């Protein structure tokens, strides 16, 4: 077991019941305060901990790895993540030790505590990494099958390659935003039903996609693949990812080169990166892969993660209503397989790259990860608790996604990604 994961450890900071952030989580994020200081942080319960201040006060001095002085005084985590997993792991272990109930060095130093601790409501969370490259996979068999049935019919639901490789496309990094930022309904071309010519206008079929995304450490040099057995060493951590989608734009444009303007107007992420180490207790086997995968993708063992996921919609002035409950363990292709496949041709990855799973749909109708599937192309409207109906998203809807795991009596979670859909701009 990782030192920082010890389920017996308690912190001298209060952790509310049902918090996503016990001392065994210790995620990483970037926050700003009222006086416009920006710093890297971690979180225990409802307290945000300033890593730059801890570093300045000497609390990371005798680590086995030396940390650059300014590594946390940045507006992204890229420099920290680039140091590699041995360093980020050692730092997380040190945090576990520092905030352990039995450890007095910071617990009993009121002046230092004042310098490093913030109430979560007094800070603003920022995008945790500068995303140089973003890739979106398509790794849920249930989702790919559902969409295939709707777009191509039951016989051709899964394309011939799907069971042999994790299908993906290169997405747009510049429009990835953090939880709390609004998304504007996009305009574009679409082909109305039964029309022969496309029209231009605001998307009428706005959707979310329930995804999880991993963030990479620095990979290898161009030309050098990351092997399946080392893939997880190159994965720093995971966030919840809402891949906003305009289905009408997507349907008209996607042949033959795949998603473009139906996707690249925005994706929203949760602000705390939960490390792959913190997710160790939730490892499970993935679905049986039949036909067997080619050798370079074969890892055996437990490389999926049992994390409960939910999507809720809060209408303008209405109550939040959860429309889907799924689980990350349903993914057919693991994160390790995704990263291995991504680099098998020699493609290089950089610290802070983001790779999203694709919509994670479960086997039942209430576990589908998009409105497209939940309302089955608009043929089965969902009823929200305020009595209103949704085939797709309406202006003013706030979409909220959450993820957490439970193991050894401990809850490790991601908080949430929450974003409001604004009307199209005239
Ligand atoms: Mn997607």
How many angstroms separate the alpha carbon of residue 335 from the centre of ligand 1? 15
- What's the pLDDT score for residue 313? 98
Q: Is the pLDDT of residue 200 over 90?
A: yes
Q: What is the mean pLDDT of residues 68-91?
A: 97
- What's the pLDDT score for residue 141? 98
How many angstroms separate the alpha carbon of residue 143 from the centre of ligand 1? 10
Instruction: Map 295-328 to HEC letters.
Output: HHHCCCCCCEECCEEEEEEECCCCCCEEEEEEEH
Q: Are 48 and 41 spatial neighbours (Cβ–Cβ below 8 Å)?
A: yes
- What's the pLDDT score for residue 237? 98
Query: What does the pLDDT look like over 356-370, one tens digit per residue?
Result: 999 999 999 999 999
Q: Is the pLDDT of residue 380 over 90?
A: yes
Backbone angles phi, psi at 396, to 5 degrees: 90, -10
- What's the pLDDT score for residue 34? 87
- What's the pLDDT score for residue 206? 98
Helix (H) or strand (E) segment spanning residue 144: helix 141-152
Q: How confident is the model at residue 340 (pLDDT cuts 50, 70, 90)?
A: very high
Beta-bridge partner residues of 247: none
Q: Is the pLDDT of residue 288 over 90?
A: yes
How many angstroms separate the alpha carbon of residue 338 from the centre of ligand 1? 14
Q: How confident is the model at residue 54 (pLDDT cuts 50, 70, 90)?
A: very high
Cβ-based neighbours of 108, under 8 Å, separated by 6 or more: none
Q: How confident is the model at residue 151 (pLDDT cuts 50, 70, 90)?
A: confident
Strands 29-32 and 38-44: antiparallel
Which of 3.60.20.10, 3.90.850.10, 3.40.640.10, 3.40.50.2000 would CATH assign to domain 134-422? Answer: 3.90.850.10
How many angstroms separate the alpha carbon of residue 210 from the centre of ligand 1? 8
How confident is the prediction for the chain on average, in pLDDT?
A: 97
- What's the pLDDT score for residue 10? 98
112 is known as an active-site residue: no
- What's the pLDDT score for residue 408? 87
pTM over 0.85: yes
Quote the DSSP letter at residue 387: S
How many angstroms separate the alpha carbon of residue 364 from the centre of ligand 1? 19
How many angstroms separate the alpha carbon of residue 260 from the centre of ligand 1? 11
Q: How confident is the model at residue 35 (pLDDT cuts 50, 70, 90)?
A: confident
Candidate list 55, 143, 341, 342, residue with the active-site label? 143
How many angstroms separate the alpha carbon of residue 208 from the centre of ligand 1? 9
- What's the pLDDT score for residue 265? 98
Q: Is the pLDDT of residue 272 over 90?
A: yes
Q: What is the mean pLDDT of residues 124-128?
A: 98
- What's the pLDDT score for residue 422? 98
Alpha-carbon distance of 20 to 272, in angstroms, equals 11
Residue 97's SS3 state is helix
Query: What does the pLDDT look like over 389-424, one tens digit per residue?
Result: 999 999 999 999 999 999 989 999 999 999 999 999
Backbone angles phi, psi at 131, to 5 degrees: -85, 110
Tell me how many helices (H) and strands (E) the chain has: 9, 26
Q: What is the mean pLDDT of residues 322-334?
A: 98
> Which fold would CATH assign to domain 3-126?
SH3 type barrels. (2.30.30)
- What's the pLDDT score for residue 426? 87
How many angstroms separate the alpha carbon of residue 59 from the centre of ligand 1? 41
CA 225 to chain centre: 24
Q: Are 211 and 326 spatial neighbours (Cβ–Cβ below 8 Å)?
A: no
Alpha-carbon distance of 149 to 152, in angstroms, equals 5
How many angstroms separate the alpha carbon of residue 126 from the centre of ligand 1? 22
Q: Is the pLDDT of residue 49 over 90?
A: yes
Q: Are 126 and 271 spatial neighbours (Cβ–Cβ below 8 Å)?
A: yes
Alpha-carbon distance of 281 to 290, in angstroms, equals 26
Alpha-carbon distance of 284 to 289, in angstroms, equals 14
Domain residues of the chain, as ranges? 3-126, 134-422
Alpha-carbon distance of 256 to 138, in angstroms, equals 16
Cβ-based neighbours of 234, under 8 Å, separated by 6 or more: 85, 216, 217, 218, 219, 226, 339, 349
Nearest to 30 by CA among 80, 83, 82: 80
Q: What is the mean pLDDT of residues 253-260?
A: 94
- What's the pLDDT score for residue 152? 85
Q: Is the pLDDT of residue 36 over 90?
A: no
Q: What is the mean pLDDT of residues 97-109?
A: 98
Q: What is the mean pLDDT of residues 193-209?
A: 97
How many angstroms separate the alpha carbon of residue 242 from the centre of ligand 1? 8
Cα distances from 219 to residues 33, 121, 235, 239, 348, in angstroms, run: 33, 36, 9, 19, 6
Q: What is the mean pLDDT of residues 266-290?
A: 98
Helix (H) or strand (E) segment spanning residue 240: strand 235-242
Residue 86's SS3 state is helix
Task: Give the angle 342-344-346 at the CA atoms, nearest 5°.
Answer: 95
Q: Are 60 and 82 spatial neighbours (Cβ–Cβ below 8 Å)?
A: no
% of the chain at pLDDT higher than 90: 96
Alpha-carbon distance of 229 to 48, in angstroms, equals 35
How many angstroms separate the alpha carbon of residue 418 from the centre of ligand 1? 17
């Amino acid at each position: 077991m990782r030192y920082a994961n010890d389920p017996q450890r308690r912190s001298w900071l209060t952790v509310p019941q049902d918090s996503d952030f016990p001392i065994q989580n210790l995620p990483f994020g970037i926050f700003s305060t009222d006086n416009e200081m920006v710093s890297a942080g971690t979180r225990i319960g409802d307290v945000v901990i300033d890593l730059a201040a801890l570093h300045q006060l000497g609390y990371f001095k005798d680590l086995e790895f030396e940390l650059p002085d300014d590594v946390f005084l940045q507006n992204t985590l890229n420099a920290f993540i680039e140091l590699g997993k041995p360093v980020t792991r050692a730092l997380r272990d040190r945090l576990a030790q520092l905030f352990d109930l039995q450890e007095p060095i910071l617990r009993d130093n009121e002046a230092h505590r004042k310098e490093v601790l913030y109430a979560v409501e007094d800070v603003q969370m920022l995008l945790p990494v500068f995303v140089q490259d973003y890739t979106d996979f398509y790794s849920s068999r249930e989702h790919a099958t559902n969409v295939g049935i709707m777009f191509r019919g039951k016989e051709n639901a899964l394309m011939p390659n799907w069971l042999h490789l994790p299908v993906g496309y290169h997405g747009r990094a510049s429009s990835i935003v953090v939880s709390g930022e609004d998304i504007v309904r996009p305009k574009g071309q679409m082909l109305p039903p039964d029309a022969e010519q496309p029209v231009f206008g605001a998307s009428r079929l706005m959707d979310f996609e329930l995804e999880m995304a991993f963030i990479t450490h620095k990979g290898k040099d161009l030309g050098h693949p990351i092997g399946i057995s080392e893939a997880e060493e190159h994965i720093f951590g995971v966030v919840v990812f809402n891949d906003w989608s305009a289905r009408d734009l997507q349907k008209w444009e996607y042949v033959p080169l795949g998603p473009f303007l139906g996707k690249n107007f925005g994706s929203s992420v949760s602000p705390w990166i939960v490390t792959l180490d913190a997710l160790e207790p939730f490892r499970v086997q993935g679905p049986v892969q039949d036909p067997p995968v080619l050798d370079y993708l074969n890892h055996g063992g437990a490389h999926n993660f049992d994390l409960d996921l939910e999507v809720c919609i809060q209408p303008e002035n209405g109550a939040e209503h959860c429309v889907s409950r799924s689980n990350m363990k349903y993914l057919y292709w693991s994160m390790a397989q995704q990263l291995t496949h991504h680099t098998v041709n020699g493609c290089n990855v950089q610290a802070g790259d983001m790779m999203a799973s694709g919509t994670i749909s479960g086997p039942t109708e209430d576990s589908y990860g998009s409105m497209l599937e939940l309302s089955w192309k608009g043929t089965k409207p969902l009823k929200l608790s305020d009595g209103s109906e949704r085939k797709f998203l309406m202006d003013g809807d706030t979409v909220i996604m959450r993820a957490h795991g439970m193991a050894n009596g401990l809850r490790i979670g991601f908080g949430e990604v929450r974003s409001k859909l604004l009307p199209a701009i005239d």
